[in-house]
Structure 1
Amino acid sequence: MAVKKVIAVCQSGGEFETDKDGFLSYKGGDAHAMEIDDKMKFKDFRTEVAEMFNCNIGTMILKYFLPSNKKTLITISNEKDLKRMIKFHSDADTAEIFVMTEAVVPDASHMPGSRSSRTTLSEAGVPVDAPSNVVEDVVDDSNQAGLLLDACFGIVGDTNNDDINIDIPAEIVAPINVVGSYNEKHAKATEIWQSNITGVGQRFNSVHEFRETLRKYAIANQFAFKYKKNDSHRVTVKCKEDGCPWRIHASRLSTTQLICIKKMNPTHTCEGAILKNGHRATRSWIASIIKEKLKAFPDYKPKDIVQDIKQDYGIELKYFQAWRGKEIAKEQIQGSYKEAYRQLPNFCEKIMETNPGSLATFTTKENSSFHRFFVAFHASLYGFQHGCRPLLFLDSLFLHSKYQGTLLAATAADGNDGVFPVAFAVVDSESDDNWRWFLLQLKTALSRCRDLTAVTDREAIAINALSASHNITIVADREKGLRESIAEVFKDDEVYHAYCLRYLSEQLIRDLKGQFSHEVKRLLVEDLFATAYATRPEGFQRCIESIKSISVEAYNWIMQSEPEHWANAFFPGARYNHMTSNFGELFYSWVSDANELPITQMVDAIRGKIMELIYTRRTESNQWLTRLTPSMEENFEKETLKVRPLDVLLSSGNTFEVRGDSIEVVDVEHYSCSCKGWQLTGLPCCHAISVIGCLGRDPYDYCARYFTTSSYRLTYSESINCIPNVERFGRKDISRGAVTVTPPPTRRPPGRPSTKKTTSQESMKRQLQCSRCKGTGHNKSSCKEILLEF
């Protein structure tokens, strides 16, 4: 494979200019070009650039812009930075490199910067007027050392402020000062905040903005302060050092939300206040510092936040402070979780307005808290009914958002065995009632789409009639009330419930009472799958006898688990050999990537993924020249290769005998073979292909229509449209909704959410087996069995 090369346009000697929107442009200077790729070493790259401009390699600084971001300059300082820069520009032909020295680096106030994946915040240059809409709060620490360190960096306040007041014994001040020392580097990092407070008459948009500005001003000017008054309409602050006259008072201008400085004494007579006490790093302050960096690098880790703030401001944070600060910054960037729930009524209207034929609905509880939210786009419903097999997979995924919840989803398999999302819902919890509600909405959405198609698309009437003759099979767990709900909701339809084999095997292992080793459990699961895949009753019986020889308990459990719902030998519907309900892993990976977003943004992110999927697959299928989809064409060819050694005994009717390793009976008229391969897959088996060939007919005519390229293109023929202004609806639009939606009472528990999904194999933990008595549950050293010696 050819190595991707990027032309680096290196520029030096010019100046950066900032427009009114904060975008940087480079004017003047000289430019040279060089070709680079990911094989180039940083040392060689830096040396060649230095030679280009005849500059000192020791003081040279290299920076660049991320693609489509002219506000943030990224520093190239090592091998990894260079490789990341080349990777970021893999879709571009050129990359602009700016060559500077330490003396001419652009002013930090115009240059939020980064060193690739982790950056010192002195380069971040957060705007001084960044508003804060989060009430300041304090992290309580469980140990005395944590409290003392917090006090070192805290602002002491009275009882009506949310900061704390702790006296630090003189004998422990010195060791803490080592951590919080304010050196020249820290002064340089905060230089842009030194003139944040200008004096009497200065105005601020809110009391929160005033507090944040004052906090940065104090850090830059190296003093600590405490609140005398601190509420929503007035703030009085004095220097923390006793006897120092520095003082400031601000209050709200009448009839407005503006906060104005009314009195100020800017004179300090104290010395070294910061060395004694430092500054309190509240969560909202941390959020304001890291917000710009977080926009460019969403994976900015709390441990890196701790290191950056310590390096740039001399303030040491706890890991949890950094984590909470990041959470607040994320909410400021993404929007409020509570506001997203309030937007739901209008959001549903927008979905159905921009995508006619879709269904978007929600319900609340008696106290107006969120209960459940269902979405099915018309393009998905249309594609399923016109191009996909009548086969639905139901599964769920736990959400790790601020208010938790569960996503329920129905996915289908397209003609190329790709995942096709049909409908999904966000509910407060996975329960029998919520699954029943989801199935009711799904049935309603499919019926509405069918009726709409019959009215607007005459050509689709025949296709709908053909679809109606094929009963839908739903592959799902039998627990969680699904068994009863599917039977109840679809009682007027011929719908088959196929039990998910993955869930069935997990339940088998959980229900076994005896002490079984990990190896025995693995064999039981393997035999269960073999039993399910057996195409004939005699094959089923052989496999079940194998299970019986291992465990009679397991045998009895399986025989009582209704094999007619999961065994190929007895299942009356068509599941096309799909035995588990977790077919839609691609869809669930999209949800996992977006599930920490507010609910409306999460749903819109999923919508964008489905929209992209439809467009991509439609474009790809337009290039196909085969009659069947690529994967089905491959399967069909494999069956064709097995035809040669078969002998066909012709008859005058439609039933034929085919002899090979076994004797099978093929019924061409009813599309069946005694091997059941034709019925299970929808493609003619080798026995059927041999008979069809002897009759002089085309085997492709006997393939299920769902596997044809034309049906695949029909699946992706409709498009999903964008939903404008999804991030922030106007208050007038939201007020139209008759229902007020508030967040559910559930909240995310403390600690990091688990990112690992337990599989059926992982659920079977290995048990100890004694090498002395061969028993389970203990080892040789703890064995208490009395063994008889012969």
Structure 2
Amino acid sequence: MYVKCSVKGCLWRISARVGRKSTPFLRVATFINEHVHNAQDNLRVEHCSSASLIASIIIDEVNDHIDRRPNDIRKTLERDYGVKLTYKQAYRAKQKALEDIHGRPDQSYMLIPWICERLKETDNKTVAKWVGNTNNTFERAFIAYGCCIEGFIAGARHVLYIDGCHLSGPYKETLLLASAYDADNELLPFAIAIVKGETLEDWTWFSYMIKEIVGSMELTIVSDRHNAIIGVVQAIFGGERHAYCYRHVKENFSAQMIKLNRGKRKTSGKAREERLQYLDAIAYARLDTEFDGAMDNMRKFNPQLFEWLLNHGDVERWALSKFPFKRWDNITTNLAESFNAWMLKERRYNVAQLIHEHREKVACSKHSNE
């Protein structure tokens, strides 16, 4: 190690080397403790802004606070070390620190086959499978833990809420998920899959894996009206058991209201709320007579919205009184959104770390329920 004063012409320097391989100590070889300038006049020092150097400084902070933003890192380094970085430099340093902590993304992919095999060895009821391409490169991974499978089959309502969300870590693909309500009306994670995107092929593979687990069980699927999901549920579970999320219906209904009112006088918030209340009455009606009355009220209130519901609303997929199977009043995919929020931090990790953290969370929630 060799350190010298950065001020041009200054004699101050120190050098040291390892004395013996078995000791962690350095032996000072040279030390000239003499400055030819006033140190207080030379506090502005040029620094090396390599990502590796900065990452070594912030690695503990990033490990403890993975949500730390690059701008926060910039402020901390300037305050504590007098080092000024651009946003891009701070971002690179954080990515390098995460790589040092969790490994490179390509390294994490190589661990997927091993992770899947270890999960099955740990619990033979756990379903863990991965798929690679012709080069044996990771493409998809599916995981359903034994405790979740047992809990769903033995003690949960046989309704699965499925959705997809983007991963924000080094593997920027998609997380597919299936979850249910347990006996206490709380989140029961059932299965996850890491895939390239919400494509027909990926949803088919994910749904087929679920079907392999549940077998001949009569299962209701609740989802948004994603085109890929509609076709897949029809083919694997039967289209009649596919319910649509009412929240997404509401969003489409609101968009239709805006379209019909385009070019007209601005609609008040109270009027918009009134129309949504008419829609709520249709959705939550328990008896056919209540449903018919709610639809008639919508027709009288706004014939155009009534026609839209008849032709494009798929009412039988979300209205309680029209869907032929039990939904226990849970007519949205809010549970899937809760799962997304539950996994918010883990979605920023690489694939191997995401699976590990998800397993830890499932284990902790299982023990807390017990």
SS in 1 for 2:168: coil
Is 1:533 matched up with 2:284?
yes
SS in 1 for 2:348: coil
Assess, with a 3 A threshold, how the Cα gap between structure 1 residues 223 and 409 changes in structure 2: closer, same or farther.
same
Q: In 1, Cα distance between the equivalents of 2:184 and 2:348?
A: 31
Assess, with a 3 A threshold, how the Cα gap between structure 1 residues 293 and 574 changes in structure 2: closer, same or farther.
closer
Q: In 1, Cα distance between the equivalents of 2:81 and 2:245?
A: 56
Aligned counterparts, 1:270-285, within 5 A: 278-285=46-53
**Structure 1 partner of 2:230:** 483
Is 1:544 matched up with 2:295?
yes
- AA in 1 matched with 2:249: L
CA deviation string 1:53-86 (max 9, x = no partner): xxxxxxxxxxxxxxxxxxxxxxxxxxxxxxxxxx
Assess, with a 3 A threshold, how the Cα gap between structure 1 residues 530 and 285 changes in structure 2: closer, same or farther.
same
SS in 2 for 1:527: helix
**Structure 2 partner of 1:400:** 168
RMSD: 3.3
SS in 1 for 2:343: helix
**Structure 1 partner of 2:324:** 572
Q: In 2, Cα distance between the equivalents of 1:553 and 1:367?
A: 55
Where does structure 1 lack aligned partners over 5 or more consecutive residues?
1-195, 198-216, 225-240, 249-264, 451-467, 619-790
**Structure 2 partner of 1:222:** 5
Aligned counterparts, 1:501-540, within 5 A: 501-512=246-257, 513-515=259-261, 517=267, 519=269, 520-540=271-291
**Structure 1 partner of 2:120:** 352
Q: How far off is 1:307 after superposition?
A: 3.7
CA deviation string 1:734-787 (max 9, x = no partner): xxxxxxxxxxxxxxxxxxxxxxxxxxxxxxxxxxxxxxxxxxxxxxxxxxxxxx
Assess, with a 3 A threshold, how the Cα gap between structure 1 residues 525 and 367 changes in structure 2: closer, same or farther.
farther
Assess, with a 3 A threshold, how the Cα gap between structure 1 residues 528 and 367 changes in structure 2: closer, same or farther.
farther
- AA in 1 matched with 2:250: S
CA deviation string 1:92-138 (max 9, x = no partner): xxxxxxxxxxxxxxxxxxxxxxxxxxxxxxxxxxxxxxxxxxxxxxx
Larger relative contact order (CA 8 Å, sep ≥ 6): 2
Identity %: 28
Q: How far off is 1:441 after superposition?
A: 0.9
1:388 touches 1:412 (CA, 8 Å); kept in 2?
yes
Q: In 2, Cα distance between the equivalents of 1:426 and 1:367?
A: 18
2:284 touches 2:320 (CA, 8 Å); kept in 1?
yes
SS in 2 for 1:392: strand
Q: In 1, Cα distance between the equivalents of 2:291 and 2:178?
A: 30
SS in 2 for 1:400: coil
Q: How far off is 1:378 after superposition?
A: 1.6
**Structure 2 partner of 1:436:** 204
- AA in 2 matched with 1:548: R
**Structure 1 partner of 2:18:** none
* 1:559 aligned residue (279, 286, 310): 310
**Structure 2 partner of 1:614:** 366
Where does structure 2 lack aligned partners over 5 or more consecutive residues?
16-29
- AA in 2 matched with 1:515: N
SS in 2 for 1:393: strand
2:161 touches 2:223 (CA, 8 Å); kept in 1?
yes
SS in 2 for 1:592: coil
**Structure 2 partner of 1:374:** 142
Assess, with a 3 A threshold, how the Cα gap between structure 1 residues 309 and 379 changes in structure 2: closer, same or farther.
closer
Q: In 1, Cα distance between the equivalents of 2:332 and 2:195?
A: 23
Q: In 2, Cα distance between the equivalents of 1:504 and 1:301?
A: 36
Aligned counterparts, 1:706-717, within 5 A: none
Q: In 2, Cα distance between the equivalents of 1:312 and 1:567?
A: 59
SS in 2 for 1:604: helix
**Structure 2 partner of 1:391:** 159
Is 1:291 matched up with 2:36?
no
Q: In 2, Cα distance between the equivalents of 1:382 and 1:495?
A: 26
2:171 touches 2:351 (CA, 8 Å); kept in 1?
no
CA deviation string 1:579-636 (max 9, x = no partner): 1122244432221021111111111211111111111112xxxxxxxxxxxxxxxxxx
Q: In 1, Cα distance between the equivalents of 2:279 and 2:295?
A: 8
* 1:419 aligned residue (187, 197, 208): 187
SS in 2 for 1:397: strand
Q: How far off is 1:369 after superposition?
A: 5.2
Q: Structure 1 length as normaliser, TM-score?
A: 0.40
Q: How far off is 1:356 after superposition?
A: 0.4
Q: In 2, Cα distance between the equivalents of 1:522 and 1:429?
A: 35
Of structures 1 and 2, the larger Rg is shown by 1
Q: How far off is 1:342 after superposition?
A: 1.4
CA deviation string 1:536-590 (max 9, x = no partner): 2222122223322343332112112332222222221111111112224443222
2:126 touches 2:145 (CA, 8 Å); kept in 1?
yes
- AA in 1 matched with 2:299: K
Assess, with a 3 A threshold, how the Cα gap between structure 1 residues 423 and 304 changes in structure 2: closer, same or farther.
closer
